[in-house]
Structure 1
Amino acid sequence: MSKDILRALGELEKEKGISPEVVIEAIRAALESGYKKNYSKSNNFSIESDEVTGDYRLYADKTVVLEVQEPQEEISLEEARNIKASYEVGDIVKIEIKPKKDFGRIAAQTARQVILQKIREAERENIFNEFEGRESDLIDGIVQRVNRGNIYIDLGKIEGVITQTEQIPGENFNQGDRLKAVILEVKNTGKGANILLSRTHPNLIKRLFELEVPEIHDGVLEIRSISREAGSRSKIAIHSNDLNVDPVGSCVGNKGVRVRTIIGEIHGEKIDIVVFDKDPSIFIANSLGPAKILNVTVNEEQKAAVAVVPDNQLSLAIGKEGQNARLAAKLTGWKIDIISETQSVERNMNIDVTTEVETEVETEQIPEVE
């Protein structure tokens, strides 16, 4: 191994970000492989290399015995003590091996192959480590290609994929388009990191609001929950930690610029900004907007509620195919029964809390990201 090789490896370390230990171990493994392949089938040898000069030395590791039976692996106590007087039976003696003249050439060829393999492995590991633990993070990439319905995104050092199930219905992208998505999962396949992305996950809404609304990023406003039917409508519950800061106004922005930017990113999906309240009846009433709610009766034990709305707003409160009520139930985590004012009078409010709309869905809480 020459100084030129070491110098080239040093430059490669800087370029690829691979630690010196990985490269030195690759060199040592290459030399061991080359020597064993071409000169010795025995495993009782070791290689020491000088990281400064690039010189290497091969040693046969022989065990000190009283009577030698395997000359390639053993050395007599007498011979060992001729080398060093303190040797005892069972000790390991390193005896330098002078390899054949062409070993340097063979070792260099083997070293090249092993080093390249180690470098590829280290690069894959570095990329995996870069993305590991970043699930739910927002990422910006360029569409590299679309194949069999899957969208492959150029993330710089690696490619991410958005499967058909994680795409917003009706979206179409072409090569070169830029888009935002959240990291859904990071897998180490053994051949490198596999980055799965999503545009349908509620965390995409969360991250876009954090990006566009400084008050959320700074902690003045807090996202409590999100419910989403991607491509159609989302509801986001916002709590203000400052009485002087309006959560809805801050999220909408001046002349609606903030929320319009977010809606543009998700191709026109409607977003309802809901004010969170610790009082479940108020929170449920807020979540059913834009319908006007006259009264909400809650059953804490069953975590169920009955919301009364004006007769002419019953359809609005339930929404098309029950969507508004369904999203409200997901957002609040409560079962919600929506009835009209007339129905309320007829029942005289002596009703069992049931769910007339299929809304019994757990709230989709947004995982915290450190």
Structure 2
Amino acid sequence: MNVEFIAALDQIEREKGISKEILFEALEAALLNAYKKNFGSSYNVRVLIDKETGDVQVFSRKTVVNKYQYDLAEGEITLEEAQELYDMKYEVDDVIETEVTPKNFGRIAAQAARQMVIQKIKEAEKDIIYEEFLTRESEIITGEISRAGKGNIYVNLSIIGSKDITINAEATLPPSEQIPFEDYTPGKRLKVYVIEVKKTNNAPQILVSRSHPGLVKRLFESEVPEIFEGIVQIKSISREAGSRTKMAVYSADENVDPIGACVGPKGQRVKNIVDELKGEKIDIIKFSEDYSEFISASLSPSKVVSVEINEEEKSAKVIVPDDKLSLAIGKEGQNARLAAKLTNWKIDIKSESQAKSEQGE
């Protein structure tokens, strides 16, 4: 090895974020194995790399012991022999090091070093990808679709890591996390929500979503300053991806209208999010700690005549005008289903005429 090799390690540290100290430790271990493989494993040796010049030295190590010659284990030397061969100052438990660097060890060292560095870079890159993307769980990252296979969509992600180094990885968008009928053409850029980052024997597995309610939440946080600042809070979200989302919001400041803040001037804020979600409808509802008010609002855009609450069973009987029944229930029951998920209450919807008919029975 030489100065150029050391310079290459400096570059790896800068570009890959891999500590040079870790590389040197791994290098010395790799060179030790190379020495034992090529020159015998019976030696108790230590490998030393000059971190400035790249020069490699191998030292034989022997521990001074108070034993007879025939009782010696590998890497031991008797006190008498140590004092006779080396120095009278040696005492029991001292370690004697003697340089035993072979003449042709440089070539072997260079080959072992290259192999080790390649392996260490791969291992370190996997660890860095895992650690950096783990901190991005439950966040949005913009990526580019690379390919498709077995129903999965693969997305190239690129982030700036904690050491200001660009980190690239491929994420998986499984069928269950895709928006129905959304276009996933390779090369297309889109925002994805990071669900989970798993460590595997190969590259870390990054699972992302386009259908998770968290995607809607993060989009509003990035689009609405009042949410980002904590003035407006998102209390709950229910979503059927690609079709409709209901979101309950609350304002900690009575002077700030939470719905108006989310809709934005001329409806631009919510429009930006609807565009990102390819036309998905978004109902923004004012949260209330009054269950009747909250349940009534959750059935928007339908009007509600009355709400009868059963707190013990956490169920509600809702009466709506006759001409609003289908609107309250929604197509294939979607509006009622989303309202129930949003409020976490069981909701039984009746028209006024149905309610009167039941009372008359």
Does the CA-based 8 Å contact 1:59-1:94 persist in structure 2? no
**Residues 35-65 of structure 1, C-alpha deviations (whole Å, 9 max, x = no match):** 0110022362222333234333322232333
Does the CA-based 8 Å contact 1:29-1:114 persist in structure 2? no
Partner of 1:37: 37
Question: Offset at 1:30?
Answer: 2.2
Say what the alpha-carbon RMSD is for the aligned residues. Answer: 1.9
C-alpha distance in structure 2 between counterparts of 1:43 and 1:343, whole Å: 93
Quick check: 194-203 or 99-108, which moved more? 99-108
Alpha-carbon spacing, 1:99–1:234, altered in 2? closer, same or farther (3 Å): same
Q: Percent sequence identity over matched residues?
A: 51
Partner of 1:363: none
Question: Offset at 1:316?
Answer: 1.0
Question: Offset at 1:18?
Answer: 1.1
Alpha-carbon spacing, 1:71–1:3, altered in 2? closer, same or farther (3 Å): farther
Alpha-carbon spacing, 1:67–1:283, altered in 2? closer, same or farther (3 Å): same
Alpha-carbon spacing, 1:9–1:311, altered in 2? closer, same or farther (3 Å): same
TM-score (norm 1): 0.89
**Residues 73-117 of structure 1, C-alpha deviations (whole Å, 9 max, x = no match):** 2211112344363521xx252322323211111111111101111
Partner of 2:164: none
Report the secondary structure of 1:75's partner residue. strand
2:26 pairs with 1:22: no
C-alpha distance in structure 2 between counterparts of 1:45 and 1:308, whole Å: 86
C-alpha distance in structure 1 between counterparts of 2:15 and 2:28, whole Å: 21
Report the secondary structure of 1:225's partner residue. strand
**Residues 143-198 of structure 1, C-alpha deviations (whole Å, 9 max, x = no match):** 11223332111113111121111110011221211101100110111322211110
TM-score (norm 2): 0.91
Does the CA-based 8 Å contact 1:166-1:199 persist in structure 2? yes
Aligned partner of 2:124 among 117, 122, 125: 122
C-alpha distance in structure 2 between counterparts of 1:246 and 1:278, whole Å: 16
C-alpha distance in structure 1 between counterparts of 2:7 and 2:144, whole Å: 36
User: How many aligned positions are there?
Assistant: 348
Q: Where do 1:173-252 residues align within 5 Å?
A: 173-252=184-263
**Residues 306-356 of structure 1, C-alpha deviations (whole Å, 9 max, x = no match):** 111111111111111111111101000111111111233334499xxxxxx
Does the CA-based 8 Å contact 2:59-2:101 persist in structure 1? no
Corresponding letter in the other structure for 1:242:
D
Aligned partner of 1:109 among 111, 115, 121: 111
Q: Where do 1:339-354 residues align within 5 Å?
A: 339-348=350-359
Report the secondary structure of 2:60's partner residue. strand
Q: Where do 1:277-296 residues align within 5 Å?
A: 277-296=288-307
C-alpha distance in structure 2 between counterparts of 1:256 and 1:129, whole Å: 39
Partner of 1:300: 311
2:151 pairs with 1:172: no
Does the CA-based 8 Å contact 1:63-1:75 persist in structure 2? yes
Unaligned runs of 5+ in 1: 351-370
